[in-house]
Structure 1
Amino acid sequence: MRVVFSFRAALAPLVGALLAFVPLSAGANEGAATFSDAARIVSIGGSITEIVYALGEGSRLVARDSTSNYPEEALKLPDVGYMRQLSPEGVLSVNPSGILAIHGSGPQAAVDVLKKSSVPYIEVPEHFTHQGILEKIRLVGKALGVDAKAEKLAAETDAKLTAAEKQTASIKERKRVLFVLSTQGGKILAAGGDTAADGIIKLAGAVNAVEGSSGYKTMSDEAIVTARPDVILTMKGGGPQISADELFANPAIASTPAGADRKFISMWGGYLLGFGPRTADAIHDLAVSLYGAQVTD
């Protein structure tokens, strides 16, 4: 079931990459860290929805955004649209008692309308790090009034993340990874620093081949060659799929170590870049894909 509403001109969709980095700022409704009524919550952001279900509080949700496609049970909820193209009318149409959103939801005009509505709006910061995941878990638990459950889940997740990161501790030669978000118009849009892709690459014991810039950037042929990636990483789902043949047909990529060896990894976007309860597993899977038998248990 999908809730669809047209945008007014003032609420035009935010233009940008699917997972573009958004600078962090203070949360909405500062001081309102706990919903007074958490019985009917709209969850915006795939990792937020995953955490709600991991806490055993999925029954509180009355709607979710289109990036919230895990667990499967979440797909039964009404879909209020893509997290960066929200309609206030759509979100409020399900009569929520609270809105729980990841920072970076938008467009800003729509978020401003939601913040000014009578429905409490709690914003959860996004940090693409081990500690950032634990913070999200604790803040979601606080918002729902289940702090004890959140501490238990945070402790379990912390242990799994620590174990996953240790699997590549002994590797000496770190792979240089180029995460390609899109190839629209023949241009390579790749992940720099301060992005989910940068975070997961580092947690898996590798090096982001794009150095010295933040966010997702269009790369020139010269920049791609200079980056010298050993591996090309892409994501499945969330838009047009990028094939290995398409990438390695690019002359600049073909001239890199990744192109010479045709090293290509593709993983589901929400799993790879979600930074939620499943991230330890994503770290392990990416590390195995990068290093094979060198990954220790």
Structure 2
Amino acid sequence: MAGISMRAGRAALLFSMLAMAVSSATTTSALAEETTRIEDSSRLISIGGSLTEIVYALGEEKRLVARDSTSLYPPEAGKLPDVGYMRALSPEGVLSVNPSGILLLEGSGPREALDVLKKASVPMVVVPERFTGQGVLDKIHGVGKALGIQDKADKLAASVGADLAAAEKAASSVKERKRILFILSMQGDRIMASGKNTAANGIIELAGGVNAIDGYEGYKQLTDEAIGKAAPDVILMMDRGGNHAVSPEQIFGNPAFAGTPVARTKKLVRMDALYLLGFGPRTAKAAHDLSVALYGDAAEH
């Protein structure tokens, strides 16, 4: 159990870092080229947890020689050499495993490191990050094209697409949508929450909920007044595990929630960070599980 808690805390910390990074898509999108295929993918590095999940889901994990520190699922991926955090890559660390190609999730960097890798003539394919069901399917197709296995990618995308369609159909049937406040952190009782154009916003919508914060993009600290106006019905957080977790007493004891619906219901949902926010092959299941947590048996029909 201690090992699970440590992994949960690590995953949540990594996703917190991802969320708070301000340069998101600019590092790799500016470097993206026409290349969409890695001719020799026999020694592949996967940068981005969702891409690593896709490689495993395609049954192509034998190609992997390393991964980044956000690639914690499936558990076998953790046995691969770790070349570092996707937004703080070291060219030396990446090149030390002698890769024949690199899969990069959009937002990887820094730009200087990618420039060095480009000069070292290591083929790189940048896969776009979009926090929608279609974005997941596009990732699968992008990985399939990069590895030259489009047929396998088409089959996986069809299966995942059917699951996503079922999740979206269930979400569309929800009549009274709950307002969800995703809290990234509560340092010093200051609440940092998710706005639009985030993984949290995307999974809330897929689950049939409404993001209680729609006045900004990304993650920001909220004033007590803003929380009052948001009027959340449910608090959603990453499951940090062990000593990393903020207790319900700390959350609902915060005066910012006084007078809001969630202060009365004390409805708190915690989910594994990679599962909830990864936007990989498990996203439909994560959306379903979140929907059940929000609406109970009604989400099953």
TM-based fold match above 0.5: yes
User: Is the Cα contact below 8 Å between 1:88 and 1:110 reproduced in 2?
Assistant: yes
User: Which residue among 165, 172, 179 is the counterpart of 2:182?
Assistant: 179
- Tell me which residue corresponds to 2:102: 99
Secondary structure at the aligned position of 2:88 is classed as: coil
Quote the offset at 1:29 in angstroms: 4.6
Secondary structure at the aligned position of 1:149 is classed as: helix
Are 2:205 and 1:198 aligned? no
Give the 3 Å change call, closer, same or farther, for CA 151–206 of structure 1 in structure 2: same
CA distance in 1, matches of 2:96, 2:224: 47
**Unmatched tracts of structure 2, length 5 or more:** 1-15
User: Is the Cα contact below 8 Å between 1:176 and 1:229 reproduced in 2?
Assistant: yes
Are 2:151 and 1:144 aligned? no
CA distance in 2, matches of 1:27, 1:290: 39
Q: Percent identity?
A: 59
Higher relative contact order (CA 8 A, sep 6+): 2
Report the more deviating stretch, 89-98 or 101-110.
101-110
User: Which residue among 289, 292, 297 is the counterpart of 1:288?
Assistant: 292
Give the 3 Å change call, closer, same or farther, for CA 261–216 of structure 1 in structure 2: same
- Tell me which residue corresponds to 1:59: 62
Are 2:243 and 1:265 aligned? no
Are 2:281 and 1:248 aligned? no
**Unmatched tracts of structure 1, length 5 or more:** 1-15
Give the 3 Å change call, closer, same or farther, for CA 108–26 of structure 1 in structure 2: closer
Are 2:90 and 1:87 aligned? yes
CA distance in 2, matches of 1:106, 1:184: 27
Please tell me the residue identity of whatever aligns with 2:251: L
CA distance in 2, matches of 1:49, 1:189: 28
User: Is the Cα contact below 8 Å between 1:29 and 1:115 reproduced in 2?
Assistant: no
- Tell me which residue corresponds to 1:33: 36
Quote the offset at 1:296 in angstroms: 2.9
Report the more deviating stretch, 259-268 or 19-28.
19-28
Give the 3 Å change call, closer, same or farther, for CA 115–220 of structure 1 in structure 2: farther
Q: TM-score, normalised by structure 2?
A: 0.89
Quote the offset at 1:27 in angstroms: 6.7
Quote the offset at 1:51 in angstroms: 0.2
Per-residue CA deviations over 1:182-227 (Å, capped at 9, x if unaligned) read 1123211111000000000000000000012100111111111110
Q: TM-score, normalised by structure 1?
A: 0.90
User: Is the Cα contact below 8 Å between 1:45 and 1:102 reproduced in 2?
Assistant: yes
Per-residue CA deviations over 1:70-90 (Å, capped at 9, x if unaligned) read 111111101111212211111
User: Which residue among 155, 159, 162 is the counterpart of 2:162?
Assistant: 159
- Tell me which residue corresponds to 1:47: 50
**RMSD (Å) for aligned C-alpha atoms:** 1.8
Give the 3 Å change call, closer, same or farther, for CA 169–99 of structure 1 in structure 2: same
CA distance in 1, matches of 2:202, 2:102: 27
CA distance in 2, matches of 1:227, 1:82: 33
